[in-house]
Homo-oligomer: A and B are copies of this chain.
């Protein structure tokens, strides 16, 4: 334990170090040793560009080959103008229901500028092109190639409080999400909202999964139906929820605002037929041609990754269940080692290929580019994550006995390679129904724990060790860094230097993890119903470790906005649909084989399988329609807010208009007396024209005004022949 005095000193240090010195952004500017002159010229341009858009800057030494530029808005007035213009733009683009009135300070009182909004606008001021009123600084490209990164500083005090609160709370509430939104922007907040909703929903599969595990065992139709129903409800719930959150946070529709991609190459420019603005055009047919490359790409992924996975799996089966020769103790690790070492290599080659392919597809907007990339990566993830289980569920368990001859290929191979002509000792092959449970356990428990370690703990420890080493001069060169810092700034600068070395937080990675997890639940949990329980526990930790990663393991993210989880929504829908197929198929194929007493495939009839799948899929589709119908009926805070905003706007405008048109309005429902006069005068005017004797005008002159018409009508009614009304 540290002595009280030491603790106090550290606390003071921390206190000072917590302050961000009003700095909004850090620009980490690299000065390569051999390009000092170019770097200097770029630096001058940088400061000039920043000043032009009203940003104040200070400079301090970075590490031995970089400097740190500190940026803040020069005055609050400038910031307010930015806020006003941004909100006006939002309104015009349909993101806000009501436009900002002329009364700016009133609007700022009503809806204060959150830290996220402030940081986002300043980031845009730094990076937007010059013709759109920004400084046009694009890190690492072209003129700004020495600008290594532009990032905001962590709010350490908040981060510490936040971590404390998260670790003592069971559930996040709306206030917690709003807080995340105000600090890290809607994009990150939406991720937390997603994990939170998913976590809450996991209670159901955890509960009925546990029940099924106790009472029904594996491969239960009832569990498959419940799981299918659950995944539909969750998917539809989230679709509604994300709209709701977007409305509450005032960002609904931001995904429609298209941010042009700087790397986009266009064929020719043309004029928009409507607005006359120039548009850059890239032939959609050319793009389609490139997109068609996705077909061979997907096939390649399936062949390479799938083939490798099937190979390793069959090898593993051979070693574990057939082989009984020498090295029996160590050989079982061989397939795992192969998978762990070779698969990531394949994956990363294919990922790079996916990136190149997406580049070649040459999208005009950042969002479409990102979605296209995510889609391809999802294919890769899909194969690497679900293929081993698919092999076990659809090949090994039902048709295992047919596999024996193929398994012996491994034996032959081993014989040929290593043991010469000696006969390999084998045991009789028996299908091991526990295999899929073991695999599911690995995927849902072991893998999650390993993942947690590599994702949250390792980078943190690594970073701690590295900075300690640097500061204590172990890594030679860095010793002098910070030597010339002013005393009162030293701690702050040290912290800033540390933050420049952190990794960039990418919410996509976290989404991927959750979606792949959802896939395990939807596709295969019927083989191990406890998966829901495992995920419930995992995700409680996951949410906190993600928060920790953001707060301590990475640079503070740029607080981007988002109104949806974007391409992941499609992935969720796809997995939920596919789950209805795989679950029912697994149940049908493995139900009998589950107790190991008889061969699984003996009873399998193709038509039974097809009928099961057909019924399951239509159960899914019908449930989907029903759930959508019901969800539509439910009111929600976001929709209420939207209605309220619309109502207020409507009221305001109606009042304005009625004010102007008060006289008009009064005369529309003028009461009989006045109306009568009005009608009379209108008719009289016509009568004047009627002196020329038009038949049409004559028609309307027969009865003078209301009284005339009533009188004439009475006469006509009295002429209706009939028995006189009976007196009673």
- Measuring CB to CB, which residues of chain A are less than 8 angstroms from any residue of chain B? 16, 19, 21-22, 31-37, 39-40, 43-44, 47-48, 51-61, 64-65, 67, 69-70, 72, 74-75, 78, 81-82, 84-85, 88, 92, 99, 102, 133, 273-275, 284, 486, 488-489, 492, 605-607, 610-611, 613-614, 633, 640, 643-644, 647, 649-650, 653-654, 657, 660-661, 664-665, 667-672, 675-676, 678-679, 682-683, 695-696, 698-700, 702-703, 706, 709-710, 712-714, 716-723, 725-726
Contact = CB atoms under 8 A, between A and B. Distances in A.
B695 A58 contact: no
Which 8 pairs show the lowest CB-CB distances between chains A and B? A33-B722, A607-B607, A75-B682, A610-B610, A74-B679, A606-B607, A59-B713, A274-B644
Given A92-B653, A667-B81, A669-B133, A699 B21 contact: yes
Contacts of A486: 702
B700 A56 contact: yes
B678 A34 contact: no
Nearest to A613: B614
Contact of A36 (B35, B47, B57, B717): B717
How many chain copies does the complex carry? Answer: 2
Contacts of A69: 709, 713
Nearest to A53: B669
Contacts of A60: 716
Contacts of A696: 19, 21-22
Contacts of A44: 710, 713-714
A460 B311 CA distance: 78
A62 B706 CA distance: 19
Contacts of A695: 16, 19, 21, 488-489
Contacts of A716: 59-61, 67
A703 B59 contact: yes
A32 B722 CA distance: 8
6 contacts: A31-B720, A48-B672, A59-B709, A59-B713, A102-B660, A488-B695
A713 B75 contact: no
Given A64-B720, A275-B643, A713-B69, A676 B59 contact: no
A32 B725 CA distance: 10
B668 A712 contact: no
A37 B74 CA distance: 85
Contact of A275 (B35, B647, B709): B647
B669 A84 contact: no
Given A34-B722, A703-B59, A706-B47, A678 B713 contact: no
Given A653-B99, A713-B67, A722-B33, A683 B610 contact: no
Contacts of A43: 710, 713-714, 717
A464 B222 CA distance: 67
A441 to B, nearest CB: 32
Given A51-B679, A67-B717, 15 more contacts: A22-B696, A22-B699, A33-B721, A36-B718, A44-B714, A48-B706, A52-B671, A54-B668, A59-B713, A69-B713, A74-B679, A75-B678, A84-B664, A102-B660, A133-B668
